[in-house]
Amino acid sequence: MPQIQELLQQRDWLLADGATGTNYFDMGLQSGDAPELWNTDHVDRVADLHRRFISAGADIVLTNTFGGSRYRLQLHGAQDRVTELNDAAAAIAREEADRADHPVVVAGSIGPTGEIMQPVGNLSLQDATEAFAEQAQALSSGGVDVLWLETLSSKEEMRAAGQAAAATGLPVVATMTFDTNGSTMMGVSPMELVGLYREMVPRLVAFGANCGIGAADLLGALLAMVRQIDDSDILVAKSNCGIPAYVDGRIQYSGTPELMAEYARLALNAGARIIGGCCGTTPNHLKAMRLALESHQKSDVPNIETVVGELGPVTEGTRARCLDTHDSPKTDRVRKGRRRRGR
């Protein structure tokens, strides 16, 4: 059995890591640079961030390969280095995970191509699948435990990435991101996604939401998904650390460690079993999240008003997606089923 599934059988929750790129800015990355080039140019810095997240309590670390496809790398003249950069990233994360004092899953991050797929854009399903397959195979060869598809926004791109990832034989985690309309950029709602994940991503072990416009809205998307899940489904919540703002020449995120700790508790109550942070989330935030989860006794699924009261306002699009979610028969059945299993 893959390590991630073993840990999920043993544990009520797993803590995924925080941001990659936004933390690299504090480590010397310049605006417009490709973080993936650090996998060969600054191995020590990439390893250091993994190490700090693991020390903060991460059970899952994502490789520095979010933009590691040929389409993203060609913006930096590195489209011929897909295998080299992804394999190197996987090896760095693997080494840090293997030396940790607790089990750590290495997840191979695969982000969007940055291209618009047919029929709206020009990128074909075949070309996208080939690009994702090239990246997925390099991550697999480098030693990752699971492939992690993240921040995707269209059904077509998720299908291409899912097929490519599954061809490696590794388990797959899939997350998409939601905007102010409470849907993905291409108009897919959280409720629709549950069925689409199952249909489009073979070897799927967990799914959910990442990034987005803040912790409150991400939990709103999660609450909408809960209406459609089965007892066997594993939900993922990996939210941005508040809202970004340009302060004194650099981007800062509004989320405090205390806010992210409360987000982690609410995410667990909402049904997520893999919880982490996205943009802006530092090792300090992650440490607060770990302490919060370790001391938290899981309680009832919150409604959107509880989320707003604890984390701040949500967009009208998110609110609309959450109408009647808390009181739906599906949510009540799932909650009772989890209690019977002692989660």
**How high is the pLDDT of residue 287?**
98
CATH number of the domain where residue 38 is located: 3.20.20.330
pLDDT, tens only, 169-216: 999 999 999 888 888 877 888 888 899 999 999 999 999 999 988 999
Q: How far apart are CA 175 and CA 152, in angstroms?
A: 7
With b for 16 or more beta-carbon neighbours within 10 A and e for fewer, the 189-198 pattern comes to: bbbbbbebbe
pLDDT, tens only, 295-309: 999 999 999 999 999
Contact 108, 120 (CB under 8 A): no
For residue 164, the one-letter residue type is: A
**How high is the pLDDT of residue 34?**
97
Q: Would residue 297 count as lying in a domain?
A: yes
**How high is the pLDDT of residue 237?**
97
Q: Would residue 229 count as lying in a domain?
A: yes
The alpha carbon dihedral of 262, 266, 267, 268 has a sign of positive
Say whether 251 sits in a helix, a strand or coil: strand
**How high is the pLDDT of residue 334?**
39
Contact 143, 94 (CB under 8 A): yes
The alpha carbon dihedral of 174, 31, 181, 118 has a sign of negative
Q: Would residue 134 count as lying in a domain?
A: yes
**How high is the pLDDT of residue 331?**
39
Region of 258 on the Ramachandran plot (φ > 0 left; ψ -120 to 50 alpha; else beta): alpha
State yes or no: pLDDT of 330 exceeds 70: no
Number of domains in the chain: 1
Q: Would residue 215 count as lying in a domain?
A: yes
Give the mean pLDDT of 55-78.
98
Based on the number of CB atoms within 10 Å of its own CB, is 316 exposed (0-12), middle (13-18) or buried (19 or more)? Answer: exposed
Q: Which residues contact 200 (CB under 8 A, 6 or more apart)?
A: 155, 158, 159, 162, 163
Contact 5, 268 (CB under 8 A): no
Give the mean pLDDT of 128-135.
98
- Strand 244-247 and strand 250-253: the pairing is antiparallel
Q: Would residue 165 count as lying in a domain?
A: yes
Average pLDDT, the chain: 91
**How high is the pLDDT of residue 2?**
86
Token pair belonging to 45: 């810095």
pLDDT, tens only, 133-151: 999 999 999 999 999 999 9
State yes or no: pLDDT of 340 exceeds 50: no
Q: How far apart are CA 307 and CA 223, in angstroms?
A: 10
Q: How far apart are CA 275 and CA 312, in angstroms?
A: 19
Helices marked H in 63-214: 70-73, 82-98, 125-142, 155-166, 190-200
Say whether 237 sits in a helix, a strand or coil: strand
Q: Would residue 343 count as lying in a domain?
A: no
Q: Would residue 342 count as lying in a domain?
A: no
Helix 190-200 × helix 155-166 angle, to 10°: 30
Range of the domain at 210: 3-242+250-337
Q: Would residue 108 count as lying in a domain?
A: yes
